[in-house]
Amino acid sequence: MATPMFNSYEEMLNHYYWRPLKDSGFDVKVLQKAKRMSELDEEIERFELKKSDAPVITSTTGVRNVIYGATLNSQVVTEANAFSILPKRAWSKSGYRAITTAGLTSGGNVTETGAIPETLKPTFAEIGVSPHRIARATNISEIEMLLEGKDDTVKWSDIINYTASEFKNTLNRNILADADGAATDGTIITPLDRVIASYSELDTELGSNEADIYGLDRDAAATWTDAQVSHAGSAGTETDRTLTLGLIDDVIAACEPYWDSDKNKVILTGYDTASRIAQLERPKETYPTDAYVEFTIEGIKVRGKEAGIPVATFNGIPIIRSTNVVKDTISRIYILDLDHISLETLKPISYMETTDPFVQNTFGKEGVFTWVGEIWCDRFGAQGKIRGLK
């Protein structure tokens, strides 16, 4: 017998409960008159059938197969907050020129009748930036695809929807890869941890060439390539120290002279470190959720309460969290000047698929997500990092 459809919960109760009791001769008014539960049990027991049956039940072999449905309920973290906060710009050129040393750093005084001083020039450098590709592929057999809609199977469309989310997280994980141990041959997207690095990290936290960027050697002479990095490593030993608000203040203070303005700045860290900052700020009651932000193509933007997502701030700078931030004992902290760091994109996130067996060398369907670009930074001193925290 087919399960009936009900328009209300009361109809269902009437079908399964009240009507069978009435049909069996049971006076439903007993429910109102029964003073004790035992009285109701005794009344109902008079109408029970006293016989042994062998019913077909849900555990009977061959009777019941669960239909799970095609919907995929992901239990995997696929957030991409680091990817979201970085401004996205169309690839316009493969490098830029920089002034690395001022032409005049002292003097400049001329007497009333003094001669015009000799001309000077700043030091120039050329920085080449190369694009890199990130990809995530998936496929399905032809037979499984043909059975879709006939058996209880996962749909190809649901697999692709999940893979799209996972691909954004793949971008996020590449952006937040640890500079220590990452390839140095220029074949990968430059991780944020390497963009925001300094010569002082070499031989303490980073090995040979692991701080280099865009083909630039971050040696002692090239201080203009250094970001503002706080660490406690020395003599080849990395030491973790307890996080204090002073560490954050000091790095921000070191970055500020390189900032064009106080706007368009963000602090990026992990959930654990953000929680620690909240604990440190709580006694001062200066850790408000007073910024409302929106993720846009241009990065993170502070909006009004009606249009934005509430986030905590530190000295007015929004704090964004990501599970993929590199951890020492707890997650590192990055201070980003989004006016001078972005994702230069040669090809935006794109999806392609094929069912051509001669292309795949198998029967089925294959899809791939790709993105081509690079993290672009044209002012290293404006960026900060705090590592070696516990």
Reply yes or no on whether the pLDDT at 137 is more than 80: yes
DSSP per-residue string spanning 197-235: --GGGBTTTB-TTTT-BTTB---TT-GGG--EEE---BT
The number of distinct structural domains making up the chain is 2
Are 205 and 318 found together in one domain? yes
Does the pLDDT of residue 43 top 60, yes or no?
no
Would 354 be classed as within a structural domain?
yes
Residue 11 near residue 5 (C-beta atoms within 8 A): no
Residue 181 structure tokens: 């141990």
Whether pLDDT at 291 is above 80: no
Are residues 237 and 284 both part of a single domain? yes
Sort 184 into a burial class: Cβ within 10 Å, 0-12 / 13-18 / 19+.
Answer: middle
Q: Where are the alpha helices (DSSP H) in the chain?
A: 9-13, 19-23, 30-33, 37-45, 81-85, 142-146, 156-175, 192-195, 245-255, 271-281, 357-360
Same domain, 33 and 162: no
Report the range of poorest mean pLDDT among 16-30, 32-46, 253-267, 325-339. 32-46
Please name the amino acid found at residue 222: A
pTM for this prediction: 0.79
Residues pairing with 234 in the sheet: 237
Residue 113 is assigned to a structural domain of this protein: no
Residue 44: the pLDDT is 57
Q: Give the contacts of 257 (CB within 8 A, at least 6 positions apart).
A: 381
For a pLDDT cut of 90, what percent of the chain falls above it?
46
The C-alpha atoms of residue 334 and residue 210 are separated, in whole angstroms, by 18
Highest-pLDDT range among 62-71, 100-109, 240-249: 240-249
Residue 233 has pLDDT above 80, yes or no: no
> 205 and 277: one domain?
yes
Angstrom distance (rounded) from CA 330 to CA 242: 10
Q: What's the pLDDT band for 102 if we cut at 50, 70, 90? A: confident
268 or 311: whose pLDDT is higher?
268
Q: What is the mean pLDDT of the chain?
A: 84
pLDDT at 103: 82
Other CB atoms within 10 Å distance of the CB of residue 264: 18
Task: Tell me: do 40 and 127 sit in the same domain.
Answer: no
Residue 10, pLDDT > 90, answer no
Range(s) of the domain holding residue 262: 81-99+121-386
Q: Quick check: 182 pLDDT over 80?
A: yes
For residue 385, name the pLDDT band (cuts at 50, 70, 90). Answer: very high
Residues 35 and 93 in one domain: no
- 281-303 average pLDDT score: 62
Specify whether 207 is located in the same domain as 255: yes
Determine the pLDDT at residue 176: 95
Does 130 reside within a domain?
yes
Q: Beta strand pairing status for 228-230 and 384-386?
A: parallel
Beta bridge partners of 303: 292
Q: What pLDDT does 371 receive?
A: 95
Given a cut of 90, whether residue 247 has pLDDT beyond it is yes
Q: What is the mean pLDDT of residues 192-215?
A: 86
pLDDT(38) > 70 = no
Mean pLDDT, range 12-28, rounded to an integer: 70
Q: Among the listed ranges 85-89, 235-239, 365-369, which one has the minimum average pLDDT value?
A: 235-239
Structure confidence by residue, pLDDT tens digits, 140-149: 999 999 998 8
Distance CA 207, CA 159 (A): 40
Residue 69, domain member (yes or no)? no
- Looking at the domain assignment, is residue 297 inside a domain? yes
Are 35 and 136 within one domain?
Answer: no
Task: Identify the pLDDT of residue 170.
Answer: 93
Position 62 in a domain: no
Beta strands in 102-250 (DSSP E): 123-128, 132-141, 228-230
pLDDT the model gives residue 354: 94
Nearest to 336 by CA among 238, 268, 275, 237: 268
Amino acid code (one letter) for 314: F
Q: What's the DSSP call for residue 4?
A: P
pLDDT, greater one: 368 or 29: 368
Both 31 and 94 in one domain: the answer is no
pLDDT at 36 over 60: no
Provide the percentage of residues in the chain whose pLDDT is more than 70: 83
- Overall average pLDDT of the 75-80 stretch: 87
Q: What is the mean pLDDT of residues 352-362?
A: 92
Identify which of 204, 208, 233 has the alpha carbon closest to the alpha carbon of residue 218. Answer: 208
Q: Are residues 261 and 198 in the same domain?
A: yes
110 found inside a domain: no
pLDDT for residue 119? 83
Task: Identify whether 142 is part of a domain.
Answer: yes
At residue 210, what is the residue type?
E
